Chain A
Amino acid sequence: MEAQAMAYLAGGIGAAGVTFAAAFGISKLASAAMQGIARQPEATGEIRGAMIITAAMIEGVALLSAAICFLLSVK
């Protein structure tokens, strides 16, 4: 029971950390992309493509950790 409670706690804290870190990364990326688009509207397409690739990288790591948190709270 104790160990299970600790696992739930670890899953919850881990999920919070993952969310925080991923949101931080994506927000920095998006703000930079927005500034880039505002300065050079003609490069919108290229910037958007590069932004999606980088966002996918950040998201991939975040989801990997989220999956670990989920397993902690289920197993």
Chain B
Amino acid sequence: MVEKFTEHVAEHGANAHQAAEHVANAAEHAAHAAEHGSGGGADFVMHHLLAHPVIKLPTVFGIDLTITNHILMMWIVSAILILAFWWSFRKKKLVPTGLANALEATVEYLRDDLILPNMGHHGMIYAPYLLTAFFFILLCNLMGLVPGAATATGNIGVTGALALLTMAMGQIAGIRAHGVIGNFKHLIPGGLPIFIIPIMIPVEIVSLMAKHIALAIRLFANMIAGHITILAIMSLIFMFKSWLVAPAPLLIIVFSAMLEILIAFIQAYVFTILSAVFIGAAMASEH
């Protein structure tokens, strides 16, 4: 047992010396091992979740230009999307075939079930943004399940930027619909007594921020949570240090991966529908 433990510590590459010194004291070792094991597991999980640089670039004006694997994944996803849409619709046909069929069905479903009910016919000019966001997020989520790839949407910076775009779109929609002053007036619900308005202005501004921050965190946390679940179950195999344990975690991982595919679709859908609701609310006229 002691030998096994020493091996374990040596394998993890930390405190091998200390372990050798303390070989006599088995109880202390057990405690040490427990601590070490969990710390190693957390590091392993964090290493998998955080972005790591692919191409190192210098920092310009305080902005780090390093290309991380998440940025690379976003480029790949964009390239796939551009190629897929260009290739499917390169010839205008009345009846689409193959991939064009699937893409057209998805776009029509989103238009009829998601954009029109929430934004109305005036909102159709924002449909391209919503559809782009949907396909981009969907493909980013799905690419995260490909071995060797990374989940770009599992990065708070990426989801934050997407939420910021939605917020900008909402403000643009509001300004287009009501004018600059009308847009600010629109923040406050109508029919309030005059003395409540100074209190309502900060409340409404915070509410606007909170809605979009929640939008970013929801997508980020969902994608991260799935990966943590799979990694935690996978590390059970390494904790038990036996091949015999492997089938059980593997079964659960297969199940989790299936769930992840479902969540990839649901989260892309939820992000798009919430964006549509927010933009629709910004341009809705009060009566």
Contacts and interface: CB of A to CB of B under 8 A. Distances in A.
A53 interface: yes
B257 interface: no
B269 interface: yes
Interface in A58-75: 59-61, 63-64, 66-67, 70, 73-74
Nearest to A56: B270
Given A63-B217, A63-B218, A63-B225, A53 B42 contact: no
A74 B273 contact: no
B274 interface: yes
A6 interface: no
B108 to A, nearest CB: 15
A60 B214 CA distance: 6
A59 to B, nearest CB: 7
A66 B117 contact: no
- For the residues of A in contact with B, the DSSP-based class is helix
Interface string B169-205: 0000000000000000000000000000000000000
Given A52-B273, A56-B270, A64 B217 contact: yes
A60 B217 contact: yes
Query: Chain B: interface secondary structure?
Result: helix
Interface in B98-117: 113-114, 117
Contacts of A61: 214
Interface residues of A, number: 18
Contacts of B68: none
Given A52-B270, A67-B224, 20 more contacts: A45-B113, A52-B266, A53-B273, A53-B274, A53-B277, A56-B218, A56-B270, A56-B273, A56-B274, A57-B214, A60-B215, A60-B217, A60-B221, A63-B221, A64-B214, A64-B221, A66-B221, A67-B217, A70-B228, A74-B46
The 9 A-B residue pairs with the shortest CB-CB distance, nearest first, are A63-B221, A60-B218, A56-B270, A60-B214, A74-B42, A67-B221, A64-B217, A63-B218, A53-B273
Interface of A: 1, 45-46, 49, 52-53, 56-57, 59-61, 63-64, 66-67, 70, 73-74
11 contacts: A45-B113, A49-B117, A49-B273, A52-B266, A53-B273, A53-B274, A56-B270, A60-B218, A63-B221, A63-B225, A64-B214
